[in-house]
Structure 1
Amino acid sequence: MAILITRPQPDADATAARLRARGLQVLLAPVLRFEALALPQEAEEDCDAVIVTSANALRAIKPQLVDSRLTRRPLFAVGGHTAEAAREAGFTKVFSAEGDAVRLRDLLLARVQAKALKKSSVLLYLAGADLSRDLAGELGERGFTVVTQTTYRMVPVAKLPRETCEAFVANAIEAVLHYSRRGARAFLDAARAEGVEISALAIPHGCISEAVAAVLREAGATQVMVAAAPDENALFETLRRALRSGLA
């Protein structure tokens, strides 16, 4: 029995390695394809800080950040994974909210209260083409000027890998892991197109957040697990408790 990982590359490989190290069999079926978009040269001008809610936003423009003035600005990341991607991209002043977009917003407001950041600051938001929350609007209502730059988009794949379809038919998949609402929808669409939707909905689904879980429940999944916190460690812990095989 295998755990199916639906997140895009290169994160899918990292997740697979962590699960295999815990003695679990893994199948990869990235349902979104990463496409980088160039960052305009003028984007690094006239901003006081950078905010990021996805490591992919940094990976997309990493080559452009070499010797860029932008890396000298403080960067506020949604969590540890994104913060690490920021450091790898060359940022030296990195602050992590260790949570979700709400905690990132609250972290910025706390920095204002501590007089470490001006309320009138111009924030450069490096983002994906599809956003689940209007973080820029929320920060704008609190006095910040937010300039959003789209640095990547995730394109849904049309089909699941043949190996994955065969595993569903053979009842050889023990659970599916989901990391975004868009990814969950893409998985359901691909499963439907391949004729394995009924099998796919009948097994446990581990979700990084309640928002992601809602997509699976609306589609008819009844065994939906939600991580206690929006990070992979919490998702793995949820999986460990739910599956007979367990995680070490």
Structure 2
Amino acid sequence: MRRGGTVWITRARPGAEATARRVEAMGFKALVDPLLEIRFLAPVVDLAGITALAFTSANGVEAFARLTAARDLPVFAVGDATARAARVAGFSESFSADGDVEALAALIARTCPGTVLAVSAREPAADLPALLARAGVAARALAVYATIDRPPGPGTLGQLAGLEAVLLQSPRAARGLASLLDQAPAPALAALCLSPAVAEPLLAAHRLGRIGSVAFAPRPHESDLLDLLGR
């Protein structure tokens, strides 16, 4: 893609700023205007009988760490960034599935007897406790944050047709963009998605000519997503 072009960062803050820095280091301009907003919840944390924690995002780690000082349980994380967030939060033992939620469930099933507390959003993209139950692992769910849809600013909508690319890291953000494209098509815009599941809500818009192209990373890692910018 053309260096110097503007790339729209749609992920929620604070992660959006870290992504923007990486995009700018690659020679692009970054437009941070999230389609999602994170709001922390205040559930009661009950760790009785829990032998391990499972996190599907760094947001979950941050939200959980605000609720309890407990740091003695092992952590299973969906990927390296989430495992790193757990270490920064003070958890001494963390394991990365280096993949998606299904990979996380498989890792836990291989290595963790006992009951797992699956820490996630109020409306998670995937049902980790159900995946664990199918693998014979007992699990309880704990929602520690909510993901709220957020409309982009008028400035972003005004320059939508001139953007080089948009980065999408969740199906929910992709659905939000698809809805916007119904009213404001961007036939030259490239949608770069973290996974096939993220890309799926935009396929109809692509068929209808409302977006120029839709691509997804070979692995659900931000580094692989950003590699798409170099093509």
Name the TM-score, length of structure 1 as normaliser.
Answer: 0.85
- Matched residue, 1:44: 47
Aligned residue among 182, 198, 208 for 1:212: 198
CA distance in 2: counterparts of 1:73 and 1:7, whole angstroms: 29
- Matched residue, 2:142: 149
SS at match of 2:192: strand
SS at match of 2:159: helix
Give the aligned length: 223
- Matched residue, 1:122: 115
- Matched residue, 1:19: 23
Cα offset, 1:150, TM superposition: 0.3
CA distance in 2: counterparts of 1:8 and 1:81, whole angstroms: 15
SS at match of 2:189: coil
CA distance in 1: counterparts of 2:127 and 2:59, whole angstroms: 18
Cα offset, 1:222, TM superposition: 5.0
Aligned residue among 156, 160, 166 for 2:158: 166
Contact 1:3 1:174 in 2 (8 A): yes
SS at match of 1:44: coil
Aligned residue among 173, 192, 198 for 1:183: 173
CA distance in 2: counterparts of 1:187 and 1:60, whole angstroms: 26
**Greater per-residue strand proportion:** 2
Unaligned runs of 5+ in 2: none
Aligned residue among 7, 25, 35 for 1:31: 35
Amino acid of the residue matched to residue 79 of structure 2? Answer: G
Taking the TM superposition and a 5 Å limit, the aligned residue runs for 1:104-115 are 104-111=104-111
CA distance in 2: counterparts of 1:44 and 1:90, whole angstroms: 17
Cα offset, 1:160, TM superposition: 1.5
Amino acid of the residue matched to residue 105 of structure 1? Answer: A
- Matched residue, 1:3: 7
Contact 2:178 2:201 in 1 (8 A): no
Superposition CA RMSD, Å: 1.6
Contact 1:47 1:123 in 2 (8 A): yes
Unaligned runs of 5+ in 1: 112-116, 242-248
Whose Rg is larger?
Answer: 1
CA distance in 2: counterparts of 1:210 and 1:227, whole angstroms: 8
The percentage of counterpart residues that share the same residue type is 32
CA distance in 2: counterparts of 1:133 and 1:28, whole angstroms: 26
Deviates more, 1:175-184 or 1:52-61: 52-61
Name the TM-score, length of structure 2 as normaliser.
Answer: 0.91
Taking the TM superposition and a 5 Å limit, the aligned residue runs for 1:53-132 are 53-66=56-69, 68=70, 71-111=71-111, 117-118=112-113, 121-132=114-125
CA distance in 1: counterparts of 2:26 and 2:35, whole angstroms: 24
Contact 2:117 2:140 in 1 (8 A): yes
